[in-house]
Structure 1
């Protein structure tokens, strides 16, 4: 367990031993805003110009400089990359893949398994789920010569059954959200195991969100968040590991360069070193820390919105109709396009959310309206996912 009470050679008290940085790298193939009267073909449904524009912008603002910063700072981290992210990187920004490959080859970056299409397959079709995970794993092997042993599901959607499926596919580790309900009994700052025996790590969402959401919030009572302040918070936290999981776009896109986010990371690496705290990859945790106990999570959770459940995708009638129609399309002749239509973002755009989540939903929605997102999605399904070229009635 942790060396609580020890001091480093500078006489600084040590509580926390390790930090785990995990980053999600994902971009969807957004749907073109088309309607029935446009008479589009299956290949017209994807919004090529918008997808290119967004990916190239985020690559320059976030993916490339963030990875350079992590490497230069000697920070270890763990990445999960969807297949749709990889495809767009290959098309729009090969430099992004090059620098990630350099980071992986350095030994500082672990790659995780996930669903290739960043889908909701885990909650409705075990066979489809396994297919997509296998495809993403093959992609990691083909591009990075890397075989993942840790797993994260789409949007940290998690329950005991999903953990069991991951274990059966050969993964050693899985991550999940440390919701308020779970954290009442299980601090996210320790290693656990799921009932299936797979190692389970819980996200410390409060400390993660201090960076990803609150860093540049001038009305936050802890603003400005400096590296030394944050390092002290970590150092004073009880437990063995600080699990900081967030979107990779946090660095340079959601929190712009002008906010000082990259300097924050550079200085944080120095301050945590002063406290004797190291960054480690997810698959290294078991070598450093004993399991605290077993955590059983039967109710499905996620890291989305304040509810931390499936309501970000299945919270209203439009989303449920779209999701049910999607499932009916599984026999489509256009199987590949049908899989791209499974990408969770496309249904997320239809969410109206709670009032406290509305700003986040509006930020990510390229159509600025959940109703338009529903119209465009249903048209795309009707136009591409029919079996034997018959429209779904």
Structure 2
């Protein structure tokens, strides 16, 4: 994989794109399956997993804790559980799933496990998860501010039971407890108390992954989940394509009036990224899902829209980029929780869209995007993969856009720039 210049000249396209883009596996599913496989009763096989910085960090974290994660020649991961050991360090990078899913696993270790990550990770919220573990009897050392670095003092077991938390900053706090809960002595009942849970489909994804592994989960009551203690069956699963990563490529059709086909788009999925079909339909796209996959054909110019992205917040940067070149203003609502992602995405999107000529009003939980006369600019990405993908979408529609640190897209999609350039040139592999 050849290095790309920094800043990266985002290719523009005055004519419609027409390409088939095949996406690697879902980060969200890959990392959930890795955790379950590490806690299972025997070896598992993950077929077509995503290999990106976030998933490699998860694999490395589980290896540090005693799990064998084996690179198969065909690209699969074979996961062989082992005794969970302490006395190790875990590098979270900037991966929310690592910093929120692995501490409950570390609490089952036989000694201390220290967590740290990139400088930006020290500003991401983890206090809710640490507080919940403390409420369940786990000893945790930190600097008193509920942020990294922190140390989980594993004692080989967690009694479990009922715990209440305010997970309105991230649904990953709920998922992290649920994934490890079958190994708690009494399982766990998690009750969310607070504002509506963001990205709720990701918790549904966690529950379905647990059930796939034979775990009993009761989610009949809103904001309440009970996981019974018991075995976790080994997995043999094919990981779905990452639909959130697909959104940027589909946006290429929307901003050029072109056509993008993504093979193997699932007809039934728990991925929040599937919501992009409704969003681009509302913005004037022709969206067709058949047995071969998803095809989006863009309009002459996308329409503005008013949409609630509370359950699919990761789509916001790409949708905002399309809105910035639409024929009318847009409201993107329900996204206050994006202030706690890799960066404050609301402030970052406002700042960068205004560089290319748009106007953006930031409210408590929304962005009001008003398109304006486009102009070239250098887009800062804040070490945020979604911001870099949004910048590429802007550059496709606006000549002269430079993207700083496009390599940050490797967090969830290796060689995004190469795939993007191939799409624009019409040479993306089918």
TM-score between the two structures when normalised by the length of structure 2: 0.26
Structure with bigger helix share is 1
Give 1 or 2: higher strand fraction: 2
Higher relative contact order (CA 8 A, sep 6+): 1
The two structures have a TM-score, normalised by structure 1, of: 0.28
